């Protein structure tokens, strides 16, 4: 199943980013797609640089509280995996809607470096007070992804 699909990532009720992607597969539970880096400029996070030409193979789940994005250079060299903690994805009318919950995980290409990111943003978001169930799911998802990424098979088992 190939075709075009739009991805809309929201945060706190507002659109954070919207971009077109190529739909690779939809298994009913998981939606996989490919998209180029959506910004026209370089974004240096210190531990990785996203830049024009980079390609993201993204996996969104309808029943899981995260999305996993494999990041490669335009030449195909693996940079690593960026994992967003999100509410489960909603697909409708040629669009994937995903709500960012401020927690992220970075796994380096060799799997040696696993970084928990944006925990301060998550705390400041007020989600725990506004929606304790969602906050709990977000923290559990981050913990599970971190644990999964530290196994010998790494995130490959999750995506396989």
For 139-150, the pLDDT digits (tens) are 999 998 898 887
Share of the chain above pLDDT 90, in %: 80
For 1-22, the pLDDT digits (tens) are 569 999 999 998 899 999 999 9
Is residue 61's pLDDT more than 80? yes
Class in CATH terms, 3-153: mainly beta
Note whether 53 and 37 are within 8 A (CB).
yes
């Amino acid at each position: 199943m190939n075709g075009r699909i739009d991805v809309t990532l929201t945060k706190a009720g507002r659109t954070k980013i919207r971009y077109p992607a190529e739909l690779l597969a939809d298994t009913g539970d998981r939606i996989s797609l490919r998209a180029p880096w959506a910004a026209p400029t370089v974004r240096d996070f210190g531990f990785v640089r996203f830049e024009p030409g980079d390609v993201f193979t993204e996996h969104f789940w309808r029943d899981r509280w995260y999305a996993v994005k494999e990041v490669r250079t335009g030449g195909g060299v693996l940079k690593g995996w960026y994992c967003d903690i999100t509410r489960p994805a909603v697909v409708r009318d040629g669009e994937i809607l995903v709500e960012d919950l401020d927690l992220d995980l970075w796994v380096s290409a060799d799997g040696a470096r696993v970084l928990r990111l944006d925990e301060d943003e998550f705390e400041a978001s007020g989600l725990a007070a506004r929606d304790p169930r969602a906050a709990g799911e977000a923290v559990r998802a981050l913990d599970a992804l971190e644990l999964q990424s530290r196994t010998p098979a790494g995130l490959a088992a999750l995506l396989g």
